[in-house]
C-alpha cells in the first residue's frame, strides 16, 4: 500500500500485552498480506500480474475478486466518479484498498475485547469504541491551506477517510476528463466501512458538488468538503464534534 499504518488501542481496565499481542500480530499480518497481493509497485504481486494480462481474474487470490466487486459498487454509488478501471496503467483499486485493508485489520482486533481501537492508514481511520467507555474518538481534519492547523473536529463512530492534493500534489484522476484535477481542496467521508468511505472521498474531491449530493442519499455515510478558497460544505448529519 506504500504507506504507514498505526494502531491506537484503549481500555478502561488496562491492556494485558500478552492477551493483545496475538490479535495485533494477526492485524499486522493482514496488512502485509494485502500489500503483497495489491501492490502496484511490486511487479510480482497478483494485481500487477493481472494488470499486465499475465493471469486471469479467476487465477488471482479471492481477495482480488472481492475488492473489484466492491469497487464496482462504489463506482455505481459515486455516479462513476470513483472508477479504478479508468486509471492510467490498468485497473488500480488503491483508492479503495487502503481503507479496506485498515478495516480488515480492525476486525482482527475485535476479539481482543479491548474497549476501543483505531487503525490509521495515513490519516484514513477505521475504529470501534472510544478512548474510554464513556466517550467516542475525536478526530481533527486538517485545513488544506494550512496543514499545521485544523479545519474542524469530528466525533468518530466508525470510519473516516479524507482525500485531497494538498500533501501529495496532483495525483487524483478525473475519469471523465482523463486529467489529474480536483474540484475541492479536500473531502472527508464518514461511515461504518473505511473501504467505501475511502472510495467515496476520492470520488468527492474529484467530482465536486454532484457527488456530495449523491453521498447525502447513501445510508449511514456523511461527507464534508473544503473548497480551494476555504469554503466548507457538508451533508446533513456530518458528525462535527461540539
Number of H helices, E strands in the chain: 6, 11
Residues 6+ apart with CB under 8 A from 42: 36, 48
Decide if 242 is inside a domain: no
* Rounded Cα distance, 193 and 117, in Å: 14
The pLDDT, as a whole number, for residue 242 is 81
Task: Please check whether residue 201 is in contact with residue 161, taking contact to mean a CB–CB distance below 8 angstroms.
Answer: yes
CATH code: domain of residue 108: 3.10.520.10
Decide if 67 is inside a domain: yes
Decide if 240 is inside a domain: no
Give the pLDDT means over successive 10-residue stretches in the chain (242 positions): 89 93 97 97 97 97 98 98 95 96 97 94 96 95 93 96 76 93 96 98 97 97 96 98 88
Task: Please check whether residue 185 is in contact with residue 164, taking contact to mean a CB–CB distance below 8 angstroms.
Answer: yes
Q: What is the length of the chain?
A: 242
Residues 6+ apart with CB under 8 A from 107: none
Decide if 63 is inside a domain: yes
Which domain does 132 fall in, by range? 5-234
The pLDDT, as a whole number, for residue 169 is 55
Strand partners, 85: none
Give the count of domains, the chain: 1
Decide if 191 is inside a domain: yes
Decide if 239 is inside a domain: no
Decide if 81 is inside a domain: yes
Decide if 241 is inside a domain: no
* Rounded Cα distance, 215 and 200, in Å: 8
The pLDDT, as a whole number, for residue 171 is 81
Amino acid at each position: 500500500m506504500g504507506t504507514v499504518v498505526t494502531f491506537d488501542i484503549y481500555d478502561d481496565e488496562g491492556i494485558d500485552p500478552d492477551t493483545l499481542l496475538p490479535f495485533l500480530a494477526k492485524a499486522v499480518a493482514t496488512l502485509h498480506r494485502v500489500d503483497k497481493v495489491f501492490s502496484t509497485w511490486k511487479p510480482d504481486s497478483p494485481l500487477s500480474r493481472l494488470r499486465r494480462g499475465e493471469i486471469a481474474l479467476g487465477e488471482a487470490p479471492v481477495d482480488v475478486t472481492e475488492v473489484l466487486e466492491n469497487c464496482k459498487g462504489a463506482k455505481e454509488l459515486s455516479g462513476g466518479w470513483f472508477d479504478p478501471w479508468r486509471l492510467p496503467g490498468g485497473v488500480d483499486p488503491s483508492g479503495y484498498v487502503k481503507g479496506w485493508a485498515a478495516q480488515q485489520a480492525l476486525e482482527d482486533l475485535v476479539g481482543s475485547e479491548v474497549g476501543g481501537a483505531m487503525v490509521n492508514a495515513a490519516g484514513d481511520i477505521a475504529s470501534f469504541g472510544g478512548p474510554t467507555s464513556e466517550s467516542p474518538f475525536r478526530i481533527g481534519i486538517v485545513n488544506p491551506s494550512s496543514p499545521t492547523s485544523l479545519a474542524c473536529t469530528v466525533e468518530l463512530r466508525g470510519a473516516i477517510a479524507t482525500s485531497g492534493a494538498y500533501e501529495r500534489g496532483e495525483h487524483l484522476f478525473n475519469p471523465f476528463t482523463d486529467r489529474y484535477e480536483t474540484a475541492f481542496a479536500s473531502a472527508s467521508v464518514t461511515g461504518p466501512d473505511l473501504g467505501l468511505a475511502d472510495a467515496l472521498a476520492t470520488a468527492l474531491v474529484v467530482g465536486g458538488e454532484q457527488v456530495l449530493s449523491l453521498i447525502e442519499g447513501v445510508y449511514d455515510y456523511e461527507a464534508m468538503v473544503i473548497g480551494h478558497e476555504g469554503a466548507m460544505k457538508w451533508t446533513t448529519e456530518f458528525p462535527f464534534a461540539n
